[in-house]
Amino acid sequence: MRRMARRKLPRIAFDFIDGGADGELCLQRNRAAFERYCLVPRYLRDVSRRDQSVELFGRRYASPIGISPTGLAGLFRPDADLMLAAAARSADVPFLLSSASNAAWEDAIAIAPDHVWFQMYCTRDEHINDDLVRRAREARTRVLVVSVDVPVNSNRERNRRNGFSRPFRMTAGVVLEALGHPAWVLRYLRTGGIPMMQNWKPYAKTGADAASVADLYGTLTPAPMITWRHMQRIRQNWTGPLVIKGLLHPEDARQAVRLGVDGIVVSNHGGRQLDAAPAPLDMLPAIREAVGDRMTLILDSGVRRGSDVAIARALGASSTIFGRPTLYAVAAGGQAGAERALQIVRNELDMVMTQIGCESYQELDGSYLWAAGHGMSQPQGEYARRLASA
């Protein structure tokens, strides 16, 4: 899917999906974390039936995977956000729709009301923050996800080299390279150029074009003044399941528990913010130890295969989500591409569970892991006690 997307997209668009911050060491670290673990099979077990379903916030989904929030998807293919929503509905998994999407989340929820969660960034305007929560509530959004790991725009060097910034710098080199991808250029021109960020249009002046709305978004975010006080306000205004995305420190996880947050997406923003950040998989056991069974933990960043989903579960994750695979896929093949990407990971997880002798995703724990340099792994503390009593 990545190779297909690279062929179909101009460099300025492909690098926005593919790249990370600074020297992109965090991207490598996210993948290397999974490579330190092996899954040790147990044979002579009846695994003729496998169950990889998982319950998240009161609803059971078919697989412990989902689609991470990915902004500006409409730039890579028109209506990509709606295609991702439909693909999530088809696979019966969650789709965390980004507030930086091009589709309005009300439209995405109309397509997949049981599968679309809404991800928002807090802005510099508290009235807009309150209004985003109100809109999510009135649209009957199942889960509200607040990303907190973008206090400042990061140094994404590929974007700067390509002119992917506000305002866009469509240099002669960028235009010439884009002409090598005529199908994308035709769609771009046919749909009027840069797509509208629909979720932010209500806060712009009447008649504002897509560029003006994007500029407004750039003045409202990032918001480095956001603190736990703002999260407390959201918790008071939102009665449904509330998830914080982007926490990596165990003490922050404990604070989220104290605030009454229902879940955490353990994530380093896919390596796109702090290049020196640890891999979420490496922080997952400590965070699980910190929160025990009081919190749903969803792992994001670096997940590429079904075996990654199994490893994350064995280390304490409730489920996993990923963004680049489905973004490559929808860019390459539309809704069918996104559905295929989800199917690949689901099929791989089923094969892995069969191979290691585990009939239920819920039963995956540290006893299936062998860590390089550490031997067999075992769940620790509260997580171990929860597994023992399950």
Catalytic residue among 127, 230, 269, 374: 269
Q: Give the pLDDT score at 168.
A: 64
Annotated ligand binding at 121? The verdict is yes
What is the domain class of 1-371 according to CATH? alpha beta
> If DSSP states are collapsed to H, E and C, what string results for the chain?
CHHHHHHHCCHHHHHHHHCCCCCCHHHHHHHHHHHCEEECCCCCCCCCCCECCEEECCEEECCCCCECCCCCHHHCCCCHHHHHHHHHHHHCCCEEEECCCCCCHHHHHHHCCCCEEEEEECCCCHHHHHHHHHHHHHCCCCCEEEECCCCCCCCCHHHHHHCCCCCCCCCHHHHHHHCCCHHHHHHHHHCCCCCCCHHHHHHCCCCCCHHHHHHHHHHHCCCCCCCHHHHHHHHHHCCCCEEEEEECCHHHHHHHHHHCCCEEEECCHHHCCCCCCCCHHHHHHHHHHHHCCCCEEEECCCCCCHHHHHHHHHCCCCEECECHHHHHHHHHHHHHHHHHHHHHHHHHHHHHHHHHCCCEHHHCCHHHEEECCCEECCCCHHHHHHHHHC
Q: Is 269 tagged catalytic?
A: yes
Q: Give the pLDDT score at 171.
A: 75
Assessment of whether the complete model's pTM goes beyond 0.75? yes
Annotated ligand binding at 71? The verdict is yes
Ordered mean pLDDT values, 10 residues apiece, the chain (390 residues): 97 96 98 97 98 98 98 96 98 98 95 98 98 96 98 95 76 85 91 93 96 95 98 98 98 98 98 98 98 97 98 98 98 98 98 98 96 65 45
Domain boundaries defined on the chain = 1-371
Q: Give the pLDDT score at 250.
A: 98
- Specify burial of residue 212 (Cβ count, 10 A radius: 0-12, 13-18, 19+): middle
Annotated ligand binding at 8? The verdict is no
Annotated ligand binding at 161? The verdict is no
Using CA atoms, how far apart are residues 50 and 147, in angstroms rounded to an integer?
Answer: 34
Annotated ligand binding at 29? The verdict is no
